[in-house]
A and B are shown apart, each in its own frame.
Chain A
Amino acid sequence: MNNILLCGVGGQGTVLASKLIAFAAMEKGLQVRTAETIGMAQRGGSVVSHVRIGEEIHSPLLPKGSADVIIAFEPAEAVRCISYLKPQGTVIVNQKAVRPVTASLSGTYIDGTEMITYLQQQAGQVKVMDGEAICDRCGSSKVLNIVLLAAAAKSGALGITVEELKSAITKRIPERFQELNLRAVELVK
């Protein structure tokens, strides 16, 4: 069984990322269950996608302490979900903090440094990504989810290889966006 948790802020593209993982896993003949956040939280709230891959899966929600990998689109959201991570699990985290209006009003949560330090103390492996730099090179802020998925695939904790991810992209993403997304995969070191 492979347990994956994706987390971020509403609007960052976590749902499509979880669909791609599910598709890639199903191509390998595995069973998949996912659970998504849909509704009011999509308006800038915390969103979480649970993805479970295996033979017989009961709950769509991950049990705490069971995630092989947390793919976090935002540092504080990774920390918010840390209780799902299994001991010595992997965290892929985008370094850029998304500051909520409440933080702008109070002048708190300046950046994600403190959050990333905490993750580095707790997780087995932490990959900090500069997703925006790759997005800039691709010329689209929409490929952040692909950047993080590629990093997760390369870490080995996703249970899906880079080649399998690329194949999922060619089969599931509309043709006119494929080149852009495949380029994003290549740019991830």
Chain B
Amino acid sequence: MIQKFLMGNEAIALGAVHAGVNLVAGYPGTPSTEVLETVAKQNDGSIYVEWSVNEKAALEVAAGASYAGARTLVTMKQVGLNVASDPLMSLAYVGIKGGMVILSADDPGPISSQTEQDTRQFARFAKLPVFDPSSPEEAYEMMMDAFECSEKWGTPVLFRPTTRVCHGCASIMVRESIEKHPIEGFVKDTMRWVIFPRTSFLNHEKIEKRNPQIGEEFSSYRFNQLTGTGRKGICTSGISYAYTKEALECETQEDYKLLKIATAHPFPETLALQFLEGLDEVLCIEELDPVLERELTYLCGKHHLNVTIHGKLDGSVQAAGENTVESVKQVLKAYLGLKCESVEYPAPPELPVRPPVLCAGCPHRASFYAVKQAMKGRKAVFSGDIGCYTLGNAAPLDMVDTCLCMGADVTMAQGLHRAEPDTVNFSFIGDSTFFASGITGVVNAVYNRTDSILIVLDNSTTAMTGHQPHPGTGVRMMETAEKKLGIQPEEICTRISIEKILKAIGLTSVETIDPLNQAEAVEAVKRAADLPGVKAIIFKSPCIAVTKPKTGYEIQDTCINCRKCIRELGCPAIVLENGKPTIEKSLCTGCSLCTQVCPCAAIVSIDKQQA
């Protein structure tokens, strides 16, 4: 064993590598992304790693490999599990041969997500075991347990860390050896691998019989822990366990029992009954849904126990958002008479609000601005999607009217147009999102003869999650390993062309334009708006994080202080200095958009000015 300082996601990845995982597939999503990236970085070539086009594809790729006996890991964020739910629900019935762990990272807060959904609920719905680590070091160990559980019971298992485990770092003892799991190969067996109503009935019966057995096994699982004595109990899980332990460093007026549940499904009933014995009441401290609280309430009913269960459902604990050490201390003060001092500071001066914004020089700003200019005075609705470009909704651009889920911009624009045909309906989609789930929506629009304009914001990367490649870039996750093995990269990588896809679908028009050329971009939007049918403009310009900045700009004394650059663009590099717009040189990437907006040509390249 050696000590390493690892992020939770790195620990999870190493856990899978050391458990002898053969194949890893996933789709980027905060807070899960670094798991797959770490495997790819560590890979000596013995593991197959890919960013799949979306979570459904990733899960199916892994399922195929598991049928053949490979150990597989699938990674995604919680909303990705919704995309993967179709294969997931069926796979839960069919089962697997090689161990299969499906990592779905939850995001209490939410900090970077659309929902506060709880993967533990999904586990119950899909009738699958779920592992819920409370720290990065536990996540490392638990990953190996998850593979063993999966193979022992022939079922995929869910692995549910939350943001603070994923993005927390800790000093962790890790193994130096890798388990070897040779792949047996696919053995044909129609009754096993082909899902039919008849086999599903039989499998359903088996699963209902099996799950209580797994729950029984979980009652003695090393990370389900019961400590303490007393008439009051605390039941907790995940990172809330860490907050609870931290809060309990303060003195309490009463004794208590503490139950930590690392496997919310199948619920370890025997262990929970030991916990409930002799208790008057229980406080459940958990994030997202009241899963433990409902399980305990159910157990009390089933066994006629006179124990009162407190938690989210009776308002003892906040219903939504993240727990913190403070929020836990607060509820424990009331529950156990926790004695802790708090530090109070007087009210601070008014603080600036700091919503996230498009970066200085982001080409999306230029794309949104061009569409806004072209549609001045016309009735138009702008449907947005998931990615950096959701930030186009912020003032002063205000160019995202709807955002629902991956790919929904394309199809929602169609529905909006059916309901209100005199509106020009735009949909904005990023390149990675287009491949993930945009294409079917475009086919739907053309097939059903909608009038709409698709704007593809192609910045050649998956930017929001930290610049992952995608089919349009042609870069694959095996390239690090291939380099180590001395395999020459292909001279021309296979890039899938968005333009060719759209042309093949048969849109009225498809144009590729550089949004940083505003005049041309505005004209293209106007042209498209006047054509019937489905039109597309691909605004192609790379993300500032994957390209070198150009020479920056400066505002000269000829500036008339009209502040149009600030009012219209909202670029973080343009700030007021002594009451006049000034360009912050450390932020300016030289995109030139402001020079095209300035009415008096006061913004010039630093190079030119010196010359």
Contacts and interface: CB of A to CB of B under 8 A. Distances in A.
Interface of A: 9-11, 19, 22-23, 26, 31-46, 58-65, 76, 79-80, 82-83, 85-87, 99-105, 107-110, 114-115, 118, 122, 141
A38 B352 contact: no
B570 interface: yes
A60 B170 contact: yes
B246 A35 contact: no
B574 interface: yes
Given A23-B5, A33-B170, A38-B30, A104 B566 contact: yes
Nearest to A65: B343
A188 to B, nearest CB: 19
Contacts of A11: 359
A45 B26 CA distance: 27
A40 B464 contact: yes
A52 to B, nearest CB: 10
Nearest to B346: A122
Given A38-B30, A39-B111, A82 B356 contact: no
Contacts of A59: 239, 242-243, 245-246, 325
Contacts of B111: 37, 39-41
A48 B44 CA distance: 35
A105 B343 contact: no
B560 interface: no
Contacts of A39: 30-31, 111-112, 464
A183 to B, nearest CB: 18
A110 B578 CA distance: 8
B270 to A, nearest CB: 27
Nearest to A87: B343
B346 A45 contact: no
Q: Which 10 pairs show the lowest CB-CB distances between chains A and B?
A: A65-B343, A39-B112, A60-B168, A59-B246, A43-B356, A58-B245, A39-B30, A45-B356, A109-B352, A63-B325
Contacts, number: 160
B349 interface: yes
B351 interface: yes
Interface secondary structure of B, over-half rule: loop
Interface string B202-243: 000000000000000000000000000000000000010011
B343 A83 contact: yes
Given A39-B111, A102-B353, A104-B570, 7 more contacts: A35-B169, A36-B168, A37-B167, A39-B30, A64-B326, A105-B570, A107-B576
Contact of A32 (B169, B242, B570, B574): B169
Contact of A102 (B170, B346, B352, B466): B352
Contact of A61 (B30, B164, B396): B164
B349 A102 contact: no
Q: Which of B30, B348, B358, B388 has the most CB of A within 10 A?
A: B348
A102 B395 contact: yes
A100 B112 contact: no
A61 B256 CA distance: 24
B169 A36 contact: yes
B171 A26 contact: yes
A99 B355 contact: no
Interface string B340-354: 011101101101111
Contacts of B167: 35-38
Q: Which of B3, B168, B566, B574 has the most CB of A within 10 A?
A: B168
B357 A33 contact: no
Contact of B348 (A105, A110, A118, A141): A118
Nearest to A53: B171
A82 B170 contact: no
A26 B354 contact: no
B609 interface: no
Given A61-B325, A100-B354, A43 B570 contact: no
Contacts of B394: 101
Interface string B378-414: 0000000000100100111000000000000000000
Contacts of A31: 170-171
Contacts of A36: 7, 167-169
Nearest to B388: A43
Contact of B168 (A34, A41, A109, A110): A34
B488 interface: no
B352 A64 contact: no
B324 interface: yes
Contacts of A38: 30-31, 112, 167, 466
A39 B245 CA distance: 27
Contacts of B396: 105
Contact of A141 (B349, B356, B586): B586
B354 A45 contact: yes
A45 B572 CA distance: 11
A43 B246 contact: no
Contact of B566 (A64, A105, A122): A105
B242 A60 contact: yes
Interface string B354-375: 1111110000000000000000
A116 to B, nearest CB: 10
A99 B576 contact: yes
Contacts of B329: 63
Contacts of A109: 352
